[in-house]
A and B are shown apart, each in its own frame.
Chain A
Amino acid sequence: MNAGFFPHLRLLRTTPFRLALLYLGLFVVSVSVILLILYSTTAGFLEEEIGETIAVEVAGLQDQYRNNGLRGLVDAVRDRSAAPHTNSIYLLTTPGGVVLAGNLTGWPDVKPGEGGWSHFKVSDYGGTMDRPSTAMAVTFTLPGQFRLLVGRDMSELDQLRGRLMASLRWVFAVTIVLGFGGGLLIARGAMRRIEAINRTTRQIMAGDLTGRVPRAGGGDEIDRLAVNLNAMLDQIERLMTGMRQVTESVAHDLRTPLSRLRARVELALIRDTDDPEVYRAVLQDTITEADRLLATFTALLSIAEAESGAKRTDLEPVDLTEVVRLAADLYEPVAEEKGQTLSTEIRGTATVRGNEQLLAQAVSNLLDNAVKYTPEGGHITLLLEGAGPGRAARVTVADSGSGIPVEMREKVLERFVRLDTARASPGNGLGLSLVDAVARLHGAHLVLEDNEPGLRISLVFPPDTAQEQAGSQKVGTFAAPLG
């Protein structure tokens, strides 16, 4: 349905209206039930009263009949029906239907209903009511087929019932008005707060990321929604800021080598020489520089891949022992080449849910850094520990290099950040950023400590990252001599 064509129907589709309607429905049903109970108990009680009165009359007439026979009964009925302004109805007839006594002109055309009670219309019987009304009576057949009817005019009860119904109708009407109005009011109160949230989101969609959802402070569901939305917005804003910083640093760090590349090619072009070797050398340099740029791009993409939570679903059980052994195996000769010693210790085993390639890349990056920044004769330790307090596994690379000052330990995890002492060695400042991103992908965290001297960097996997595996806890220390 198009709201544009039916503007008046828009109200019907709003949540407050629907909630109010629902609220009203519930209200009406419950009030109806209450009123029904009220009516039936009140009216039923009155009818019972009348029945008892009739029973007393019948008992009196029974006495007369027992003591004085039919004559006594006729007299008593005559007596009673002659009383002015009575509400009682009497009739005594012969078997042929001739009226012997009573204030009815003839036998009413009724059959006894529930409980022996007959209900019928009476017009004028000389009672209090000067108009037709309903009567309730009980009938007896006496010996000799004489018939007796004792009853009572129920017009008072009818009147009461009418009044009760009228007031119940009023109550009902008031209920509907109050219920709908109240429902609308309550629903609109809640909706106003949701509308406030909508306004904020629209403002944010329009580009203003600083907007926050207002809170009522009551701690109810809508308030919790607001709190969560605000937390989400904080996170988004943080990410956006981070993204902007990354973009800026990418632009900066890629522009430098690109301009270097361009300058080199341009210089070769304007150089006045016919020596193909010169051009060949420039081309060679150009390829080297381009490869470096591509490596930087690849590293950035790997970080992005690790950071995108989408890959979280692809995590599979990874044996960290294998990852560590392979990395150690790859770097051991490299360390030896640089006059360093690399020793690997595998204390216990650990299997975590993860991406094997990314984990391998993280460990190899840590080793790469250690080899790069440890002086000749230095020592590097690669350590794998199994489950311990607060962790499922820990991979540590400790070196005896220059270390990282405390105030820089957070900073070095950012993209393109390099220590001044590292400027001389090749690298793009993305190695630790990738390790950090991989750690976060696995729910793990990086711990940077002083190795006195050197850096001790650990990849700590919390217990819930572990992949349960029977009999995998073989704790014990043994050095794995590699190479």
Chain B
Amino acid sequence: MLMKVLVIEDDQQAASYLQKGLKEAGHVVDLAYDGKDGLFLAGSEHYDVMVVDRMLPGRDGLSLVEILRATGNDTPVLFLSALGSVDDRVKGLKAGGDDYLTKPFAFSELLARIEVLVRRRSAAQPQTKLAVADLELDLLSRTVKRSGKVIDLLPREFALLEYLMRNAGSVVTRTMMLENVWDYHFDPQTNVIDVHIARLRQKIDKDFPAPLIHTVRGAGYSLRAPE
């Protein structure tokens, strides 16, 4: 999936690192080093997603996004910030941001998040059933079937699978799962997510020839149909 990304980041080194990484991943990148230029670019071109640093010279990231939202621009925004407290995150989301990533971060984390943001935007209509290959998840009856066979899941396993299926084809990181399934905005010391994924695999993939849950090294997991 090719995306056009606008990166607004005043630290030139960080900006060019983001540009390089995003280009490597096959995306098109525009850079702005301050809020003023960023606002101009965001208003004059169409972007699939924007990566905005919260602290910018000229105009800070929060008010920039507030202005964009006020003018009807609904391009997904991922905030980058060195401020990591829960409060700062809430402020970012309130201003109109769609996700919030605290510096320093792994590039794979950023990549996974913006891809999810873009995909979520393109498939916005509410669904009552999710399906990937022969795996079906019914949100109303809260049942899961694979190849027509009912699979019993615990509530939390169901939530985890739902999150993976909603983002099928994308990479979801451990942090994203903790945030979206457990509402934990911190990383527990142990890699608890790996254990939960292992359990889910036991139920979803173990008795079937083609696995759906894949490990993406150095990034996280991805649920996708076999090729």
Contact = CB atoms under 8 A, between A and B. Distances in A.
Contacts of A426: 189
Given A294-B104, A368-B188, A355 B154 contact: no
Given A294-B104, A355-B86, A365 B189 contact: yes
A371 B195 CA distance: 13
Interface in B160-203: 182-190, 192, 195-196, 198-199
A366 B168 CA distance: 34
A281 B106 CA distance: 17
B189 A360 contact: no
A337 B189 contact: no
B195 A314 contact: no
A298 B190 contact: no
Interface size class of B (residues with CB under 8 A): 20 to 34
B187 A298 contact: yes
Contacts, number: 61
Given A337-B195, A355-B86, A330 B184 contact: yes
B153 to A, nearest CB: 11
A364 B184 contact: yes
B156 interface: yes
B147 interface: no
B189 A330 contact: no
A298 B102 CA distance: 10
A244 to B, nearest CB: 25
A477 B159 CA distance: 28
Contacts of B190: 334, 368, 371-372
Contact of B184 (A294, A333, A360): A360
Contacts of B87: 311, 314
A319 interface: no
B184 A357 contact: yes
Given A305-B85, A483-B154, A357 B185 contact: yes
Contact of A295 (B182, B187, B195, B198): B187
A361 B199 contact: no
Contacts of B84: 298, 301
A431 B195 contact: no
Nearest to B90: A314
A334 B189 CA distance: 12
Q: Classify chain A's interface size.
A: 20 to 34
A230 interface: no
A75 interface: no
Interface in A321-356: 326, 329-331, 333-334, 337, 355
Contact of B189 (A311, A333, A357, A427): A427
B144 to A, nearest CB: 17
Given A334-B195, A483-B154, A368 B189 contact: yes
A426 B106 CA distance: 21
Interface string B9-45: 0000000000000000000000000000000000000
Nearest to A369: B189
A333 B195 contact: yes
Given A298-B187, A301-B84, A364-B184, A334 B192 contact: yes
A381 interface: no
Contacts of B183: 326
Interface centre among B86, B185, B190, B198 (most CB of A within 10 A): B190
A200 interface: no
Contacts of A331: 192
Nearest to B87: A314
Contacts of B196: 330, 333
Contact of A431 (B85, B154, B189): B189
Contacts of A291: 106
A329 B156 CA distance: 8
| B87, B185, B188, most chain A CB atoms within 10 A | B188
A302 interface: yes
A427 B182 CA distance: 23
B134 to A, nearest CB: 25
B182 A326 contact: yes
21 contacts: A287-B218, A305-B85, A311-B85, A314-B87, A326-B184, A330-B182, A330-B184, A330-B192, A330-B196, A331-B192, A333-B196, A334-B192, A357-B86, A357-B185, A358-B86, A360-B184, A361-B184, A365-B188, A368-B188, A371-B190, A372-B190
| Ranked 8 nearest A-B pairs via Cβ | A357-B86, A333-B195, A368-B189, A334-B195, A364-B188, A361-B186, A329-B156, A337-B195
Given A333-B199, A357-B86, 7 more contacts: A295-B189, A302-B186, A305-B85, A330-B182, A330-B196, A333-B196, A361-B184
